[in-house]
Amino acid sequence: MAIINFKEKIIQIKIVYYGPGRSGKTTNLQYLYNSLKEKFKDDLPSKLITIDTQGDRTLFFDFFPIELGKINGLDLKLQLYTTPGQVMYESTRRLVLKGVDGVVFVADSLASREEANLDSFQNLKDNLQHHKLTLNDIKLVFQWNKRDLEKNGIPLLDSETMDKQLNSELRTKAFPSSATDGTNVFKTLNVAAKMTVESVIEKLLDQKQNLPN
Amino acid sequence: MSIVLSEEIADKLDDSLHKLIEESGATYAMLTDMGGNLLSKAGDEDFDGAALAVLTAANFAATKEIASLIGEKDFSLLFHRGENENVHFTKITTEIILIVLFKPYLSLGLLRLKVDGIKDELNEILEA
């Protein structure tokens, strides 16, 4: 659920990184955060908030707000969240989806994780349903993560297969990526943000037109 | 559906929060929705307000799960006591939470009274 505050001149949009456990959702956010921190030094106004277990698995969510310049005179603020991927954290995963405007689905390219990707995608649909949403109500971009492992000879699913398995219904944008070395991390976010902002503005215009005079 | 705050409504919410701070002696007040979106705030802020909004929404969501575990529908009020600052969270509507920070020397009872007093006012503004 996007928020527009005309007093503060802010438009705020929520994007959630979803996907199976260990697919690299938190790594995506960490890469974004570290790159921006390096670029802006101490001027970066926001911090990466992580609620995780003693290991490095996300327990509740990671959160990182980014300001992305102006749109129609309003400051655009993106709220980036990740969900816990492990199957047992079902209820927290559902909670993080509340008010979502856009999703980056981070799929694991490892051949052994084929089924985990499909399960997680179905789980996303089910959890959206819990908030009375379908995939058509939000914007979604895919990321085929861990492509860097190919050069180490580790068996990966090829992008075409992943596209066929996950993206045949939506036919949306998909990016082969590596969240550890940063390949296509910013690109994925840029495209997801652009698509989401456009759809939020479109919905707001509809909402305005439907208001009684 | 998105929330659109007009300048007029945002001003009214800010005024109500300022009034609450003045009358109760609290340090800081904030309104956020259950999705963690900050709606309005008043008072001294030497911390990340956006993060407070997000963590509050998460806190409510987590305690809601606790409520359902023990057969309660919901907890409408949460309170955390600190050494130098206390936090009081109240549900204003099903979707909106009021967060108040106050010093431990202030009476919790008085603060609750003042928060109750302003609840209807905030409700009216938000429903407009």
Residue B39 and residue B31 in contact, taking contact as beta carbons nearer than 8 Å: yes
> For residue B44, what is the domain's CATH number?
3.30.450.30
Question: Does residue B10 lie in a domain region?
Answer: no
Q: What is the pLDDT of residues A83-120, one digit of tens each?
A: 988 777 787 888 889 999 999 999 999 999 999 999 99
Residue B77 lies in a domain: yes
Contacts of A15 in chain B (CB under 8 A): none
Cβ atoms of A142 and A18 closer than 8 Å: no
Distance in Å, alpha carbon of A147 to nearest chain B alpha carbon = 32
List domains and CATH numbers for chain A.
9-191 (3.40.50.300)
Chain B residue at shortest CA distance from A7:
B7
Cβ separation B6–A61 shorter than 8 A: no
Please state, in angstroms and rounded to a whole number, the distance separating the CA atoms of residues B69 and B90: 21
For chain A, the residues whose C-beta falls within 8 A of a C-beta of chain B are 1-8, 12, 14, 46-47, 49, 51, 60-61, 63, 65, 77, 79, 91-92, 95, 98-99, 200, 203-204, 207
ipTM rounded to 2 decimals: 0.79
pLDDT surpasses 50 at A213: no
Give domain status of residue B117, yes or no.
no
Assigned token pair, B11: 């001003």
pLDDT tens digit sequence for A119-163: 999 999 999 999 999 999 999 999 999 999 999 999 999 999 999
pLDDT at residue A211 in the model = 60
* CB burial of residue A168 (10 Å; 0-12, 13-18, 19+): exposed
In a domain, B40, yes or no: yes
d(CA A94, CA A91): 5
Q: Provide, as residue numbers in chain A, all residues whose Cβ is less than 8 Å from the Cβ of B65.
A: 91
CA gap A118, A160 in Å, rounded: 15
Contacts of B61 (CB under 8 A, 6+ apart): A92, A95, A98, B34
Kindly determine whether residue B10 and residue A204, on different chains, have CB atoms separated by under 8 Å.
no
Q: pTM, whole model, 2 decimals?
A: 0.89
Task: Quote the minimal CA–CA distance from A23 to chain B in Å.
Answer: 23
Domains in chain B, number: 1
* Record: contact B36-A207, CB cut-off 8 A: no
Residue in A3, A46, A92 nearest the CB of B2: A3
% of residues, chain B, pLDDT over 90: 66
The torsion defined by the Cα of B38, B43, B48 and B51, in degrees rounded to 10, comes to -30
Instruction: Band the pLDDT of A54: cuts 50, 70, 90.
Output: low
Segment B85-114 mean pLDDT: 94
**With bands split at pLDDT 50, 70 and 90, how would you rate the model's confidence at B74?**
confident
Neighbours of B16 (CB within 10 A): 20
The pLDDT of residue A49:
87
Task: Kindly list the residues from chain A whose CB atom is less than 8 angstroms away from the CB atom of residue B7.
Answer: 6-7
Q: Is residue B87, in this structure, part of any structural domain at all?
A: yes
Best to test chain A binding among B4, B63, B97 (most A CBs inside 10 Å): B4
The one-letter amino acid code at A137 reads D
Q: Which of A1, A65, A92 sits opposite B1 (nearest CB)?
A: A1
Facing residue for A46 by CB, picked from B34, B38, B48: B48
Helix (H), strand (E), coil (C) string for A96-152: HCCCCCEEEEEEECEHHHHHHHHHHHHHHHHHHHHCCCCHHHCEEEEEEECHHHHHH
User: Does residue B103 belong to any structural domain of this protein?
Assistant: yes
Gap from B106 CA to chain A (nearest CA, Å): 30
List of chain A residues whose C-beta atoms are within 8 Å of the C-beta of residue B38: 12
Write out the residue range of the structural domain in which residue B80 sits: 26-107
| Host H or E run for residue A170 | none
Question: How many CB pairs below 8 Å do chains A and B form together?
Answer: 83
DSSP chain B: --EEE-HHHHHHHHHHHHHHHHHH--SEEEEEETT--EEEEEE---S-HHHHHHHHHHHHHHHHHHHHHTT-S---EEEE--SS-EEEEEESSSSEEEEEEE-TTS-HHHHHHHHHHHHHHHHHHHH-
Going by pLDDT thresholds of 50, 70 and 90, the confidence category of residue A31 is very high
